[in-house]
Structure 1
Amino acid sequence: MRLTLRQLHIFLAVADAGSTSAAAEVISLSQSATSAALNELESVLAARLFDRVGKRLMLNDNGRLLLPQARQLCDGAAGIERQFAGDGLGAPASLRIGASTTIGIYLLPAILMRARQVHGASLAQATIANTADVAADVAQFKVDIGLIEGPCHEAGLQVEPWLEDELLVVAAPSHPLALPGRRLALDDLREAGWLLREAGSGTREAVAQALLPHLHYLRPAGELGNSEAIKHAAAAGLGIACLSRVVVADLLASGQLVVLPTALPALARRFYLIHPARKILSPRLAGFLELCREAARRQA
């Protein structure tokens, strides 16, 4: 018996769903047929791929090793089917895009609109998560491309520097540090309470890389799950924050936030485009990458 794409497809469904019964519903097979295909795959590979924990099937080390390879093969087969069905850049099928939070909220919609104008295709399958989760999804072939705002720590990915993003230290006009004409010393910033993103966020890592060499420590005033929450918390006077200019532009314009002049040097970070190094770029993916690069050239 040989390895088949059907077996890999069912393996991926079980890995995503956590049981053969749940996977069977997703792929419209009987539970017995799904279990039989998984058993066949484990027999072909002479290896168990899951640990049985109660009614749940959890990937073991063999399964985690197979997962990205199975996704790549199934993705490649689907790409061949679309290609020979006439699925060019203008066809309705979507890219799977992962974007970290700031990019997904503030930059990705304009790029998707540009893609629709150029290629006439709707790229609607976008996942918004923190940088670590997006990078993991790209490494496991769950998405075709990632747009991230922090360093990538996953192996096996092609990482392309993309946009440069300006970081600003902001606070509510009523904050004790927001005194007109006052330039804040580093000691002022060390004593301040900072509003921070969660661990794993590209913004959190970028802020740490930008500030810690100068301040050595950030005293947390709160930890929030996205930059929108942080900027509104800062506007409410709960602390100061270091955020992207694109995130705070609206509240700066309305006067709900002010930029704090500091003794820090100009702060910036780099956004990145990532995709699996072994991935074959379809015409649609290559076209989307070029639109992203076009956005970077416009910024420059």
Structure 2
Amino acid sequence: MQATTSADEDWLIVKFTDGSILATDDFSDLGRMRPAAAVIYPELDSRLWAWWLTHAWSSLELALASQTAIRGWSLASASTLSRSLLESVAAFWYETRQLGASWGRAKNLPGGEDRPVRVRQELNPRLLKAFRGTRLKASPEFLRAPNVLTWVERLAKDTGVPMVTEWYDKLSDAAHPSSYARTLYSSVTMMHDSCGKAETHFAYSPIATGSLEEDPDSVDAAVNEFPRLIADAWILCTDVLLELLPLSFKLPADFTLTSRALDLVGSPYLRNMWTDDPCPCSCGGAIAHKWAAAFPPLRISQR
């Protein structure tokens, strides 16, 4: 590792032992005194914030879109969107656990000139998979994302809701031209007491049994169980998301404050991110934003 300022232009450069190079031309006076930190910490910091914001925006978008589809009884859209929402929230939580554990280890690395490099060695592989991970066959091994079932099973375990995996299987079935997709708009099967006759009705809107004029209390929707499953999955996902957003926010916030990434650059790249609370990450002083201080394991509530 080597940190230098070039002769003809004002750049800080870090050369790693594997031949790779990181460089920046945006650094403060503090950054000039700490060149390796000025090159590495803002780069990691901006990627952590990009990871958090991307998850927050996409998950919220899916939550709102699936809510609209459920309310409009657009069951094909609702099932596909709810499946995507479940995948998104599960991946968000899985990556939060992984990155939080990596940052906890990195934060306890001993001081010294090589600490920025060692911090990057700890966080970079996780960030690469979190932000660039893919299941495409041609992708290199270091970018191979976990199977989506790994995310879903972790969410089921950590929320204490084992039905999550069954919901995901059925939502996946409905997202393809398969059994649940063919029966999205069907009623329950109504069978005569003698079991000699059974009927299943299909309609684009819920089918009502009974008559409002004859007996308003007897009216019921003769829909199958799948719309309720879609709603249950949506409720769980949004409930987890509301808890996960402020919880996961603590991760990039603690990195920013501990590494002093904003003080190392010449121009600010985070705007309107902080609150007026005594602690910008809203932890209430529970997290010490300094090296060698513990970063607590991140957990979500059991449902």
TM-score category, normalised to shorter length: under 0.3
Task: Report the TM-score, using the length of structure 1 for normalisation.
Answer: 0.28
Larger RCO: 1 or 2 (CA < 8 Å, sep 6+): 2
Greater strand percent: which structure? 1
